[in-house]
Amino acid sequence: MPFANFKVPSGTISAEDKKKIVERTTELYVEIYGERARPTTVVLVDEVEDGGWGVGGNVLTAAMLNSDA
C-alpha cells in the first residue's frame, strides 16, 4: 500500500490545498505503480502546531515562515 505523510504548519493551507495534495500524490503513485495503486494509496496531511518543529536547531513558527527576512 503506497503511503505518504505531509506535515504542514497549522492553519497555513486550505482544505482545497489539502485536497490537491491528496489528489496529486495519488496520481504520482499511480504513475509509478499503475492503477493498482489507486485504491490503496493513503495520503495523510498533518497540521503541526505552531512552534512544533524546527530546522537547523531552531524552532520555527508560522510568523517566521511568513516573514520576508
26 contacts 41 by C-beta, under 8 angstroms: yes
Residue 2 bears catalytic tag: yes
Q: 2, 13, 48, 61: which one is catalytic?
A: 2
Q: Compute the C-alpha angle 6/53/41, nearest 5°.
A: 10
Pairing of strands 53-55, 58-60: antiparallel
Residues labelled catalytic: 2
